[in-house]
């Protein structure tokens, strides 16, 4: 996103990556009250707010880990926007409850909104990938788990009692199948732009 | 070039194992054919996803654990009824205090017991056959996946008229009914699957448990959850929910 110079608040992302409880505590102290206030005002409670905050932090962590997310804007608006959208999605899902949204006029920095959009798209991708992976055949699932956790293909081949060439070919076929499954999914268009 | 050969090229590129000639073939293909280019981007995306998700489990669960602890203590401190006051009290009062604490505990527990929305994840419906042209299948799929459950119910019921034992149609019909709060009808459909022996047998048990949870029938919900065996896909979720009940 634009220039790549990290904002001072990038330390919150670092804290997620290193599981630094002191700074993680600071995240709750500094940013949670506003989110809790928003969720409570919009048909939620503290328990739900705690869940939403935790889920959002995990998503940010995953994105930081896989995509090497560098935050170049303040954490506050980005984090609030993410939690807010997550909560609104949740409300929409719940058909039996009547929804009243007390929308506040919050001026959100454009850059933060851009970051939040990226994170939400990343989350949508993860959700779709998890669903698709779940539908993959058992043999492929096991082979992929082995190749990605063991790393050394020679070792995997040895473990599975197959040749190196066979395992490598199989791996590429299984990922190819996942690729095809995602492209055939009706939700593909929602995540296509992320690529 | 066969799809197999194409995927092997993709894999070689990602693991940096291509010869100069292969490298050239691939970049040529990507440059000239947008479909292959898109496919390659998706393949790379999967590779990166699997690499991070199949390896993060331990690290992620450690972080989840820390966040849970920090979150718990943060929300506990914030909560006004947990404020501490120093008052001198006679020893018998501890017994009273303990009973009050139990009552309060039970109260908070029931108040914030597990709710349907915390556990439900609606699977995607994918029934259209490649190349096959069935508008009804397509309509059922589109309406279900866009959470338009009223229409999905209509189309799935229509499909079942010609194929009344199709467990996949039945399973998704059950979900569509449950999402519309048509609980009794949903139960009928799920029960039919639970009594059967299709691959949806245990999934239906899990969703029927959620259907009961949605209606706050905790006893029936517990009973159903206990019937989900260890080899079932939803076993872990079921155990998690059982603990909360």
CA distance B141 to B126: 6
Which pLDDT belongs to residue B85? 45
pLDDT at residue B125 tops 90: no
Asked if residue B62 and residue B156 are part of one domain, the reply reads no
Residues B203 and B102 in one domain: no
Say whether both B89 and B178 belong to one domain.
Answer: no
pTM exceeding 0.95? no
Cα separation, B164 vs B189, in Å, equals 11
More confident residue, B99 or B235: B235
Strand, coil or helix: what is A185?
coil
Confidence of residue B197 (pLDDT cuts 50, 70, 90): confident
Same-domain status, B94 and B137: no
Q: Tell whether B201 and B127 lie within a shared domain.
A: yes
Domain boundary among B110, B138, B158: B110
Query: In total, how many domains does chain B have?
Result: 2
| Percentage of chain B exceeding pLDDT 70 | 87
Which residues form the domain of B191?
116-244
What CA–CA distance (Å, rounded) separates A164 from B194?
Answer: 43
Of residues A29, A176, A187, nearest to B3 (C-beta): A176
Nearest CA in chain B to A45: B112
A108–chain B nearest CA distance, Å? 26
**B130 shares a domain with B81:** no
Average per-residue pLDDT for chain A = 86
Residue B225 · residue B238 · CB < 8 Å: yes
**Nearest-10 Cα torsion for A73, A77, A81, A87:** 130
Cα separation, B232 vs B222, in Å, equals 16
B82 interaction partners in chain A (CB closer than 8 Å): none
pLDDT at residue B232, rounded to an integer = 84
Exposure on the CB side of residue B2, measured as CA atoms within 13 A? 6
For B117, half-sphere exposure in the C-beta direction (CA atoms, 13 angstrom radius) is 16
A99, pLDDT greater than 60:
no
* Chain B residues near residue A178 by CB distance under 8 angstroms: 46
- The DSSP element (H or E) to which B174 belongs, if any, is helix B167-179
Question: Contact B180/B188 with Cβ under 8 angstroms?
Answer: no
Q: Does B122 share its domain with B26?
A: no
Of B92, B110, B128, the last residue of a domain is: B110
What pLDDT, on a 0 to 100 scale, did the predictor assign at position B156? 92
Q: Do both B72 and B131 map to the same domain? A: no
Interchain pair B214, A21: CB under 8 A: no
Quote the CA–CA distance of B55 and B23 in Å, as a whole number: 29
- B82 falls in which pLDDT band (50, 70, 90)? very low
Question: Do residue B183 and residue B70 come from a single domain?
Answer: no
B8 touches chain A (CB under 8 A): yes
Considering chain B, what is the average pLDDT of its residues?
A: 85
Question: HSE on the CB side for A12, CA within 13 Å?
Answer: 23
Question: Rounded to whole angstroms, what are the CA distances from A147 to A150, A167, A169, B49, B98?
Answer: 6, 8, 12, 13, 54
pLDDT of residue A23 exceeding 80, the answer is: yes
Residue B206 sits in a domain whose CATH number is: 1.25.40.10
B27-52 tens-digit pLDDT: 999 999 999 999 999 999 999 999 98
Judgement on whether residues B106 and B121 belong to the same structural domain of the protein: no
User: b vs e for A160-192, b when ≥16 Cβ sit within 10 Å of the residue's Cβ?
Assistant: beeeeeebbbbbbbbbbbbbbbbeebbbeeebe
Length, in residues, of chain A: 195
Cα B48 from chain centroid?
Answer: 22
Domain identity same for B157 and B86: no
What is the predicted pLDDT for the residue at B65?
93
> Is residue A132 helix, strand or coil?
helix
Q: Give yes or no: residues B126 and B180 share one domain.
A: yes
Rounded to an integer, what is the distance from CA A110 to the centroid of its chain?
Answer: 20
Chain centre to alpha carbon of residue B20: 44
Q: Quote the tokens at residue B225.
A: 């959850």
pLDDT at A108: 54
Tell me if chain A has a CB within 8 Å of the CB of B7. yes
Domain end residue (candidates: B59, B93, B110): B110
pLDDT at A2 over 50: no
Collect all residues with Cβ–Cβ distance below 8 Å to A111 and sequence separation of at least 6: A1, A2, A72, A73
What is the model's pLDDT at position A194?
65
Q: Which of residues 133-172 of A touch B (CB under 8 A)?
A: 133-135, 144-145, 148-149, 168-169, 171-172
Instruction: Using DSSP, state whether A70 is helix, strand or coil.
Output: coil
Q: Give the pLDDT confidence of A38-90 residue by residue, as tens digits.
A: 999 988 899 999 999 999 999 999 999 999 889 998 999 999 999 999 999 88
């Amino acid at each position: 996103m634009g220039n790549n110079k990290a904002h001072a608040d990038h330390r919150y992302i670092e804290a997620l990556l290193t599981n630094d409880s002191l700074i993680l505590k600071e995240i709750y102290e500094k940013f949670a009250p506003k989110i809790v206030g928003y969720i409570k005002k919009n048909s939620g409670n503290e328990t739900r707010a705690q869940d939403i905050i935790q889920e959002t932090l995990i998503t940010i962590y995953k994105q930081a880990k896989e995509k090497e997310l560098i935050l170049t804007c303040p954490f506050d608006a980005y984090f609030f926007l993410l939690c807010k959208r997550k909560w609104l999605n949740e409300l929409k899902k719940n058909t039996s409850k009547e929804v009243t949204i007390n929308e506040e006029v919050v001026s959100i920095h454009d850059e933060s909104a851009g970051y939040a959009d990226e994170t939400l798209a990343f989350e949508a991708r993860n959700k779709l990938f998890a669903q698709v992976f779940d539908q993959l055949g058992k043999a492929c699932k096991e082979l992929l788990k082995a190749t990605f956790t063991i790393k050394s293909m020679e070792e995997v081949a040895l473990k599975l009692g197959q040749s190196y060439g066979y395992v490598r070919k199989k791996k590429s076929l299984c990922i190819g199948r996942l690729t095809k499954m995602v492209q055939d999914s009706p939700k593909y268009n929602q995540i296509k732009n992320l690529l | 070039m066969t799809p197999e050969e194409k995927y092997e090229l993709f894999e070689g590129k990602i693991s940096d194992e291509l010869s100069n000639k292969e490298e050239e073939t691939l970049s040529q293909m990507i440059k000239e054919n947008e479909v292959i280019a898109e496919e390659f981007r998706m393949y790379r995306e999967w590779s990166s996803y699997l690499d991070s998700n199949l390896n993060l489990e331990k690290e992620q669960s450690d972080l989840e654990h820390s966040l849970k602890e920090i979150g718990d203590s943060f929300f506990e401190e914030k909560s006004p009824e947990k404020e501490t006051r120093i008052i001198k009290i006679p020893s018998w009062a501890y017994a009273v205090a303990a009973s009050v604490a139990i009552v309060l505990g039970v109260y908070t527990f029931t108040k914030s017991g597990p709710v349907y929305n915390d556990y439900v994840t609606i699977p995607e419906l994918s029934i259209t056959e490649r190349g096959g042209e069935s508008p009804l299948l397509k309509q059922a799929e589109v309406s279900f996946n866009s959470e338009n459950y009223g229409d999905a119910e209509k189309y799935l019921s229509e499909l079942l008229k010609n194929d009344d034992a199709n467990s996949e149609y039945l399973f998704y019909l059950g979900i569509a009914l449950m999402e519309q709060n048509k609980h009794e009808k949903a139960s009928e459909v799920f029960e039919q699957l639970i009594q059967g022996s299709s691959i949806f047998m245990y999934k239906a048990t899990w969703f029927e448990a959620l259907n009961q949870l949605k209606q706050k029938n905790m006893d029936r919900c517990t009973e159903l959850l206990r019937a989900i065996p260890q080899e079932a896909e939803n076993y872990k979720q079921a155990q998690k929910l059982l603990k909360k009940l």
